[in-house]
Structure formats: structure tokens, C-alpha cells
Amino acid sequence: MGAFQPPFMVPVPDFSCSLQELRSLMELRGAESAARIQERYGDAGGLCARLRTSPVDGLDGNSEDIERRKTEFGQNLIPPKKPKTFVQLVWEALQDVTLIILEVAAIISLGLSFYRPPNAERQNCGRAAGGVEDDGEAEAGWIEGAAILLSVVCVVLVTAFNDWSKEKQFRGLQSRIEQEQKFTVVRGGQVVQIKVSEIIVGDIMQVKYGDLLPADGVLIQGNDLKIDESSLTGESDHVKKSLDKDPMLLSGTHVMEGSGKVVVTAVGVNSQTGIIFTLLGASEEGDGDEEKAERDKKKKEKKKKDKKEKRKNKDGTTETQPLNEDGESEKKKNLPKKEKSVLQGKLTKLAVQIGKAGLFMSALTVLILITRFLIDTFWIQGVVWTQECAPIYVQFLVKFFIIGVTVLVVAVPEGLPLAVTISLAYSVKKMMKDNNLVRHLDACETMGNATAICSDKTGTLTMNRMTVVQAYIAGRFYKNVPEPDLVPAKILDLLVLGIGVNCAYTTKIMPPEKEGGLPRQVGNKTECALLGLALDLRRDYQSIRNEIPEERLFKVYTFNSVRKSMSTVLRNHDGSYRMFSKGASEILLKKCCKILMINGETKAFKPRDRDDLVKKVVEPMASEGLRTICLAYRDFPASEGEPDWDNEGHILSGLTCIAVVGIEDPVRPEVPEAIRKCQRAGITVRMVTGDNINTARAIAIKCGIIQPGDDFLCIEGREFNRRIHNELGEIEQERIDKIWPKLRVLARSSPTDKHTLVKGIIDSTVLEQRQVVAVTGDGTNDGPALKKADVGFAMGIAGTDVAKEASDIILTDDNFSSIVKAVMWGRNVYDSISKFLQFQLTVNVVAVIVAFTGACITQVRICRRPSKRAKFDLYCENRIKSSLSLSAGLSSESGADAVGQPHHGHLCFAGSGHGAAHRGPAAQEPLRPQETAHFPHDDEEHPGARCLPADHHLCTSIHWYVNTPQTANMDVLYMWLT
């Protein structure tokens, strides 16, 4: 049951299966697929023979064979969409409304600058005729329009280059994520991990609990395998896979339970998920020129249609991320868009408000200029409108319009929304060096607001290198691992046999990489500790596995959050069965009715004996922070017939206890200090673990989460659920609000408990500000909690693919101190934005006032001798101070001190601690232009003067900008500009 005997492999000259045949096979489901395999291939082994692969040893890894398979069946890649070209980015930048207005105005100005009315006509147009252009400037009349066009070109190129750089960085990030995705396959008889993109048809994949399947395949051996196919079918119920009922496994689906081996039959665009991607237009492979032309013709209609289809298939498309380097990008596009981040939303709102004020000032400037011009020309001078003078008057109106647009451009803080993106991109780059792989940019910003962290214990707060340090074997308690000669050989053989077959075969102890180093633990760390115990007892577990390969295991009840145990059934030669079990001691001991004694005999294990064992063995181990695991077995005599293996309640009872072991997982040395930093920063750290209450409390004290004598809660999941449910079994927020403020340790918790706690904290209104919660998770069932949290951290080493898919940030070292680094960089975003905001608002107000004053109050002088460079200078000044403050202010680092500061709150974006330093010179800037800029009353006294003080304002702004403390590193630029 659950396995088959591989047939004799008959060499065939070539593949006996075509690509189309395999694609049609993978479209079948359920019993129909099993029947098709039986009809065409005999069994899964026959399919392997047709694909020229071995179900036991896999492919031989020959490079020529691999290339031939890639040519015949394709690669496990979905060609990503082509990135936008630089020309496309330039075109997008040109769509800015402000730039379009400037372009139109500049073109009109440029065209009118070449118009020269006859002298006689000029004399009939009043003083305005001489005010547009003096004879000395007539030849240079085109400079203003050309200069503005040049500035627009510069801005467009800079914007396009920034977008190109941002897209390049994003693709680099996705490539980094793709490189992290690996899968376990069998090649040449060896179990190896290869990149997902290197999986080919014919590979034998080893699948286990928590895996995200990267390719389509057919089951050739399974142990209690259950798959979540909701991403493709929409059905929420898990599908049980077996050789005789439903052997088809599809890419993009999740392994929720069990393990097994799968022969790959379709990869990349030929897999079920790849086909969906192709239908959605995510891949252009195979499209002819006519199809491309037709798609371009119907681009707008198809875009709307695709959006709807993507929403319908969002789960299916999401899960294909590991197939290609741009998969994550596709995933992001197909997922429902999150609300705009708090900081970005507030800055955008602020930019809109300032823009409206700027628009008002711009309109007011134009209105005043036009009004004064009309009054001066047609009323005071008494000039009569003539057709000959119309071009001159239009020239003035265009100039007034350009001045108004200049005021608007200076007033609008277009850099505010961009500031968030640049600061986040900078912080994300730094976070990657601190072992934080950010998948969603907004998560970086949100971590700056974090007020609570719900952390796992194993591997996050602890080192995740487990070793058995105490043991209770066959009725005797050993404070240290006993010497082999202290335990009867028969009992040792039974113990090691149970450990060898009842631990995942992918878990193993490897020799150290360096001489004198510690042995490498590969796979589940708790199982590694048990395998290490077998080696300490001088027994070779690998020889047992060689004698009993995984294919011979009759039945496996894999570990899950409900069972909290794992059991493996072996079939003996006489028809009887023996089952080995391991799991949490307080759970498994309740299922034991016998206990193995040192003489090799068993005796009754009554509830009183169990309570005595818990009190004398389990609790002392747990009080020292040890994880306690019970090892047991049960025999099923052949005389009683074959049991009903689906009746787990009966099967997993009547056990005989062999041993209880205490596993030590030391606290990471850097964790206590990291937690103290969080506490000083106003962040509450809570431990949510599946361990028992005593172990969890001991570790929490070692970490500093709680101190002896603190009035904080440490409760188990069962008690937590009892307190938060009312008489009708419904969860009440009021009940949660009475618990979470004092809760520090939630032990023996399920993923559902974690989700309930996170949701309760987020939805709570006990405090004035909403709590911002970060959560760590590594298991498949942690997905809901990771998605519900404001920021979800998945473990890069111990985490399952499902947890990583649901997360916002992946901890590549599984270390809690890396979370603290994420908080630091998140707060660095806020501090950097604060610096930029203080400078931007100060300079914007000054620029608008100076431009408005210079344009309106000195309007007469403008008419007499306007500056060809005034508007251009103001425009350049606006761009310079925006770009330089963005580059310098947003790339500064607050350092580790940022973590020690109180958080900014969920809605506040103005940082503290930087205002005083920045207000020094910046706050004085409004006075500087007014102190030094002068408005001459006589042109003859000041022949070189310009009535618009833009030149001086430009130099003054740059001078004070480069001398602010935040931008001291721009001295070189200042020297270049002056």
C-alpha cells in the first residue's frame, strides 16, 4: 500500500512519449487519470520506462541527456515579459501633465520669438512693443523657449533613467528570490537539491509537507499524501493522492500533508500552471506575428479582459512563481492590489494639497500679470487694439502663462511620492545585506511602525541546532545520554529502528564541512537530534534505511499541527505489522497503555503512572528549556487481521512507550540584546510556539521576553481559546482585548491560534493607535497568520515554500536579530523622509513667494527688461533641489540608534530628532532672498539687473542646501555649481 515494485528497465532507443501525449495525460483527473496510466503504461513504473528514467535512481545526470530532454519537452521556465525599453519609459515620462503644458508653452514662445513687426507698427503698440524684446535681445529671443524645452528633455531623461534603474533593481531582486528556490530530486541514485528552473521531464522529485510543486508529475510512491489544489481548481478541500485513485500532481499546488516521489511529466509552459499563464498572456512563446499584431490591435480590450481573468485565477497564477525568474513579478501583478501604504498615501495627499495651493498661486500670478498689462496698455497708455499689434500682445500673454506654469512647477512637490520609492529601494538594498529578503517594498516601511512582534521559538529565538541531552529509556532516567553498554542491546535496536524509519528519509546527519567542525544537520532539526542520539548510542541508522528503503514503508502518518506526532507502519514477513510513533510527550504519553522496562518486558502504564512520569521526568526537562519527545511503538498481530488504517483514533492508541528524550535548542546569543532593543523602542515581543508551557516559559526567560516576577501571561492554546470564546463558541473581541496586552507566551498553540491572536491584536481598539503586528512563520499552516499580519516574516532555511509565498520578508538566516535590523531600516525610511520633507516644504514655500513677488510686484520691470533665463532658472532650481535632496537625504542612514527611538505610530510620518539640525540653515532660507535680492527702481543704475530674483534664489537655495547637516556630503557638487 502506498508503493509499487519497479519493473525491469528495458532500454529503448528514444522517448516513447511525446510532448502532446504527456500534456493530454496531465489534463485528466481522479480515477480517470489512474485508468489512463493503467491502460497505456501498465503502471507508473511503465511510464518511467517510457521516459527512460528510473523510479529509484532517477536520471543519471548526463549532460547530453539533459539537453535532449530540454529540447524535446521544454525547460521549467515561463519566459518573462520583456522589460520596457528606454524609449517606452521616455514616452511614459512625457505623459506628465506639467511637462506637456511646459512643452506647449515653450513651443508657442519659440514660434512667436521669431516674429518681428515693422517699426511703424511697433510704435502704435505702446510700451509693450519695446518690453517684449529690446533690440539687444532680439537675436536671443528664442533662448527662453529653447531653454525650457531643453530642461524638459533633461527631466524626461532623468525620470526615464530612474524608472529604468528601479525596474532593473526589481528584476535583480526577483532573480535573487528565484535563485533561493530549490527542490529535492533524485539523480544518479543520490538525493540532491537543484534549482527549480533546472528540473526536467523524467526527474524524480521527492515531495514532502509544505512543498510548492514546481512541475506536473505522476505519483510513483506516496505516504498519506494530501494536496491543496485550490490554486488551480478553487476547491478548498485537500485532495488525497494515491497510485490507484488519483496519482496526478500539478504545478503550483501545495503539499499539505505526507510525502512521496513523483516523476515529472510536464514543465514550464507545458505544465498546467504554465498553460494558464500562456492563456493569460503572461508568455508570448509560440505566438506568431499575426497573433502579435492582432493582440496589439486589441490591446485595450484585452487588457481589461486579462485583469478580470487574472483576478479569477489569482491563486493559480500566484503559485507559479518558482518557475521563472520573473515569476514573482507576475505574482505581484496578479494578486489583488494592496491599499496604498500609509506613508505613501499621506505624502501623496500632502502633495495634492500643496499642488492645489500652487495652482491657486499660479492662476493668481497669471491673473495679476494679465490684469496689470491690460490696465497699463489699454487704459493708462490709451493704446487701441490693432491687428498688427496682436502678435506682440499674444507674446506677452504667453510669457505670463509661462511665468504661471513656472510658479506651479516650483510649488508642486513632485518628489514626495517618489521619495518613498527611492528611500524604500535604498533600505531594501541594505536589508538584503542584513539577511532580510524583501518581497514587498511596503513591508520595509511598515516595519518602521511595528509595535508588536509575534515570534516563533525554534530557529528564530534559538539556534535550531538540536541535540538530545537527557533521556528516559526503558524505565530509567539519564541526566546525560547514556553509554551504549548501560542499555540492553535489544532495547537499543528497537529504539534505533524506530528512529531510523520514523524520521523523514530526507533528514540526515552529514560529516562536517571543515575538519574539527560540528556534523551538519540536514532536514527537520528535531529528527536530526534523534538521529544524532542513534549515532551517540553507536548505532548506524543509515544501514537500517538501506535495508528498509522508503518504498517498503507500508503506511506513514505524517506530522501535522493537529496530530503533533508522526507514525510509520512496517509490514513483517509473517503478515503482522509494527508501528513506530514519535511526538510531543504529553500528547503521546496519553495514548500509551504500556511501557517498556529495562528487562525488555512491558508493563501496564496507568494514568497514575503517566502523571508520575510527567512530574518526575517531563516537567524537570521542560523547566530547563528542553523539548520533550516521546518514542513509542505498537504491534498489530496477523491473527487480528488487517486494521482499518483510516481509523486514526484507533490506530494511534494502545502504544507502548520506549523512551522520552529531552532535546536542547540553545538560545541564540544575540537574541536577548535584540529583544532589549525592541523593548526600549516600544515594541512588544511575544513568543508563539508549539512547545509545552514549561519549555516555552524557560526559553522566554532566557531570551528576556519575560522576567521572573513579571505580571505577564504565559498560557497554552487550549486555555487561550477557552478565554476568548463565549458560551456560543464565538470569538469575542472584548475577550481578546482582556488577554493580549499582558500576553507574552502562547504555548502549545496551533496555526489557527496564531492567526486568531494576530487578528485580535490588529482589530483591537484598546489603545489609541492601532497595533502594527509583525509575525514569523515557517509552516504551511502559518500562511493565514503571515497574510493577516502587517508584515509577515518567513524562515528562509526552515520555512516551507507555502510560508515563503505568504510572507512579505524572508529571513535568510532565520534569526530574530535580523527582524530588529528590519525595524531599524524601516525607521530609517521615516527619518529620511522627514529630512526630505522638511527641506522640500521650506524651499517650496520660499520659491513660490519669491517667484510670485518677482513676477507681480516688479511687473513693470519685467515688461521693460525681462530675463530670458528667469523661468528656466527657477525651473532648474526646483529640479536641482528636488533631485539633490532626494539623493542625499533619502540615502542617509540613521544607524542602530533608530531602533532605540519610540516608533512613529501607524499614521505619523514626521520623524523626530532631525528637525532641530535641519531647521538651522533651512529655516532661515525664507529670509535670505529677501535680504539680498533687490528690486531696482532705475534700469540705468543697474544695467545688468533682472527683476525676477530667480538667479539669486537659485544660488542661495543651493548654498543653503549643501550646507545643511544632512547634505554635507554634497560639497563637491556645490563647488561644481559655483
Contact 152, 99 (CB under 8 A): yes
**Taking each helix axis from N to C terminus, what angle separates 143-180 and 97-112, rounded to the nearest 10 degrees?**
150
Q: Could you give the count of Cα atoms lying within 13 Å of 924 in the half-sphere of its Cβ?
A: 14
Contact 185, 194 (CB under 8 A): yes
Alpha helices in 342-475 (DSSP H): 342-374, 390-411, 415-433, 441-447
Alpha helices in 567-692 (DSSP H): 585-588, 607-613, 619-623, 648-651, 671-680
Q: How many Å apart are CA 41 and CA 22, to the nearest integer?
A: 12
β-bridge partners, 659: 473, 631
Give the residue carrying C-alpha cell 540608534: 897
Q: Which long-range contacts (CB under 8 A, 24 or more apart) does 788-794 make?
A: 788/755, 788/758, 788/759, 788/762, 789/454, 789/758, 789/762, 790/446, 790/449, 790/450, 790/762, 791/443, 791/446, 791/447, 791/450, 791/822, 792/443, 793/819, 793/822
Q: How many Å apart are CA 299 and CA 289, to the nearest integer?
A: 15
β-bridge partners, 437: 810
Q: Which three cell numbers stand for residue 513?
A: 564541512
**How many angstroms separate the most distant Cα atoms in the chain?**
128
What DSSP line would sit under 728-771, residue for residue?
TS-B-HHHHHTTTTTEEEEES--HHHHHHHHHHHHH--SSSSPP
The answer to whether 456 is a known catalytic residue is yes
Which amino acid, residue 876? C
Q: How many Å apart are CA 567 and CA 586, to the nearest integer?
A: 16
Closest CA to 203 of 309, 326, 59, 64: 59
Closest CA to 450 of 755, 704, 912, 774: 774
What DSSP line would sit under 259-290, residue for residue?
EEEEEEEE-GGGSHHHHHHHHTTS--TT--HH
Contact 193, 184 (CB under 8 A): yes
Catalytic residue among 203, 456, 691, 808: 456
Which amino acid, residue 397? L
Q: Which three cell numbers stand for residue 957?
A: 537655495
What DSSP line would sit under 421-450, residue for residue?
HHHHHHHHHHHHHTTEEESSHHHHHHHTT-
Q: Which residues contact 350 (CB under 8 A, 6 or more apart)?
A: 413, 416
Instruction: Quickly count: other Cβ atoms within 10 Å of residue 246's Cβ.
Output: 20
β-bridge partners, 627: 663
**Taking each helix axis from N to C terminus, what angle separates 415-433 and 143-180, rounded to the nearest 10 degrees?**
30
Contact 635, 578 (CB under 8 A): yes
- Catalytic residue positions? 456
